[in-house]
Amino acid sequence: MTVTLYGIKNCDTIKKARKWLEQAGIDYRFVDHRADGLDPEQLAHWLEVLGHEALVNKRGTTYRTLSDEDKAALGPDTAAALLQAHPAMIKRPLLNLDGELHLGFKPELYASLFNQ
């Protein structure tokens, strides 16, 4: 089983997800969008699989500080460039479990994914 968790180290939801994985004894790799950067091909794959509406966190501070023009222009063709420039806008955590992508953290979801 290959488990990779993507997000930002100081995010409270990331901290909860990491704690859950560690307490469940699940080995995982953590990738910090800010510290490690974003692979454009990987981001394109996420957008293809999940769609920009799901992947963009519109509730966060980063999105709220965007100009009205950037918000209005956000769409399938512009999301990659905007997320590349503002990786904190990616909804988190993003869990890759053996190639299957899952957004957000809920203990019940993780328990079902890992048969806990």
Task: Tell me which residues are annotated as active site.
Answer: 11
DSSP letter assigned to residue 78:
T
Q: How many CB atoms lie within 10 A of CB 82?
A: 19
Q: Give the Å distances, CA to CA, from 9 to 17, 20, 38.
A: 11, 15, 14
Q: Is 5 helix (H, G, I), strand (E, B) or coil?
A: strand
CA 46 to chain centre: 9
The angle subtended at Cα 62 by Cα 40 and Cα 105, nearest 5°, is 75
